[in-house]
């Protein structure tokens, strides 16, 4: 483990956090440590994916991919120099990427990593270094850096049978994130409705993937299935996982089969559906401040559980690029 000097918490608190995350069941955070396989490399473990209309330019869309759960405690604070980070956009409704951005990193040198952003045709969209706002050819910008973890959730209350106390388990933690802001016209197809998901690729194989929060963590039960989910393509989600997801929703909503089936059809394939022309948040994309846990608890339990008591992030998000808060 790497200990990041920018953490202001005492060592004893860091140890407790590390122990709590490492020993917690894998079905409790947005996508942090969501399966046994991803614990092998935090730099490739996708924590969260966000997609929202830029608050500073409504013609732009912001796409965020975070990795390194508890960066500096359980994970490094750097990106993997031997792997690929992908942000995929489907604009035809078939869960197949029509637009793709690949982000590659060099090894850490003098405190930063060189970064190369490629489009799906292999052309260079941007080139620069971590810790800097880098312009993207054709409009927009990208930044890869260490940030405060934007996820907020009473994890301990969830583990304690929904006995929530309103304590944000993720307060004080950091992640590594890639933030892309792009003209929405570069993402849209015939309409402004798109789907977004992220993948990490290691050795030519898919290591992790994520669209909406908590699909794998909360709605896939066994460790082998969780590993399979992370290695599977979005196009196979309905065939491979619909029965599992529906059964788990039914276990949460009191056996309401019709509602569980309807929600399963919405939640699979695991992509973040987003109307780039709309300022609405989750389930339309996902904004940083969206309380996705409350929304999902309410949906999945048929209103039996409506909140975890954590209503906002512990740090204030920025109103301008790169939007995420500075690291702890």
> 197: helix, coil or strand?
strand
Strand residues in the chain grouped as ranges (E): 48-53, 60-67, 83-90, 99-105, 114-119, 124-129, 134-135, 141-148, 174-183, 193-202, 205-210, 272-275
Q: What is the pLDDT of residues 272-286, one digit of tens each?
A: 999 999 999 999 999
Burial of 101 (0-12, 13-18, 19+ CB in 10 A): buried
Give percent of the chain with pLDDT exceeding 90: 86
Tokens 């512990």, located at residue: 314
Tokens 């990208």, located at residue: 142
Q: What is the pLDDT of residues 293-306, one digit of tens each?
A: 999 999 999 999 99
**Residue 13: which region, alpha, beta or left (left: phi > 0; alpha: psi -120 to 50)?**
alpha
Q: Is the pLDDT of residue 22 over 70?
A: no
Of the candidate ranges 28-32, 216-220, 319-323, the one whose mean pLDDT is the lowest? 28-32
Within 8 A by CB and 6+ apart from 37, the residues are: 207, 208, 226, 227, 230, 231
Give percent of the chain with pLDDT exceeding 70: 91
Structure confidence at residue 31 as a pLDDT band (50, 70, 90): confident
Q: What is the pLDDT of residues 158-182, one digit of tens each?
A: 889 899 999 999 999 999 999 999 9
Tokens 């089969």, located at residue: 257
Burial of 163 (0-12, 13-18, 19+ CB in 10 A): exposed
The pLDDT value recorded for residue 29 is 64
Q: Is the pLDDT of residue 112 over 50?
A: yes
Show me where the domains of the chain are located: 11-300
Q: How far apart are CA 301 and CA 298, in angstroms?
A: 6
Q: Is the pLDDT of residue 132 over 90?
A: yes
Average pLDDT over residues 63-85: 97
Structure confidence at residue 198 as a pLDDT band (50, 70, 90): very high
Q: What is the pLDDT of residues 219-273, one digit of tens each?
A: 999 999 999 999 999 999 999 999 999 999 999 999 999 999 999 999 999 999 9
Q: How far apart are CA 290 and CA 170, in angstroms?
A: 15
Structure confidence at residue 30 as a pLDDT band (50, 70, 90): confident
The pLDDT value recorded for residue 199 is 98
- The predicted model scores a pTM of 0.92
Within 8 A by CB and 6+ apart from 208, the residues are: 31, 34, 37, 38, 44, 45, 46, 199, 200, 230
Q: Is the pLDDT of residue 15 over 70?
A: no
> 195: helix, coil or strand?
strand
Structure confidence at residue 117 as a pLDDT band (50, 70, 90): very high
Structure confidence at residue 2 as a pLDDT band (50, 70, 90): very low
């Amino acid at each position: 483990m790497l200990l990041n000097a920018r953490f202001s918490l005492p060592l004893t608190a860091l140890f407790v956090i590390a122990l709590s995350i490492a020993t917690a069941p894998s079905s409790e955070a947005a996508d942090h440590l969501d399966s046994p396989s991803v614990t092998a490399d935090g730099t490739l473990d996708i924590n969260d994916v966000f997609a929202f209309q830029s608050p500073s330019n409504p013609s732009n869309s912001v796409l965020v991919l975070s990795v390194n759960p508890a960066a500096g405690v359980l994970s490094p604070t750097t990106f993997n120099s031997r792997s690929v980070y992908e942000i995929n956009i489907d604009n035809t409704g078939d869960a197949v990427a029509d637009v793709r951005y690949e982000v590659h990193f060099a090894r850490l040198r003098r405190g930063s990593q060189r970064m190369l952003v490629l489009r799906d045709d292999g052309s260079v969209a941007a080139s620069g270094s971590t810790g800097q706002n880098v312009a993207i050819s054709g409009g927009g910008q990208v930044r890869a850096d260490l940030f405060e973890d934007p996820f907020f959730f009473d994890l301990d209350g969830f583990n304690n049978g929904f006995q929530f106390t309103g304590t944000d388990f993720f307060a004080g933690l950091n992640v590594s994130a890639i933030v892309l802001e792009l003209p929405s016209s570069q993402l849209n197809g015939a309409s402004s409705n798109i789907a977004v998901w992220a993948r990490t690729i290691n050795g030519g194989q898919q290591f992790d993937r994520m669209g909406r929060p908590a699909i794998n963590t909360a709605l896939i039960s066994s460790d082998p299935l969780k590993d399979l989910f992370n290695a599977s393509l979005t196009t196979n989600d309905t065939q491979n996982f619909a029965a599992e997801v529906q059964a788990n929703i039914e276990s949460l909503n009191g056996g309401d089969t019709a509602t569980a089936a309807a929600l399963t059809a919405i939640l699979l394939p695991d992509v973040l559906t987003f109307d780039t022309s709309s300022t609405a948040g989750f389930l339309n994309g996902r904004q940083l401040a969206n309380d996705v846990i409350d929304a999902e608890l309410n949906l999945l339990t048929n209103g039996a559980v409506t909140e975890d008591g954590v209503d906002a992030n512990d740090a204030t998000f920025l109103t301008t690029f790169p939007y995420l808060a500075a690291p702890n």
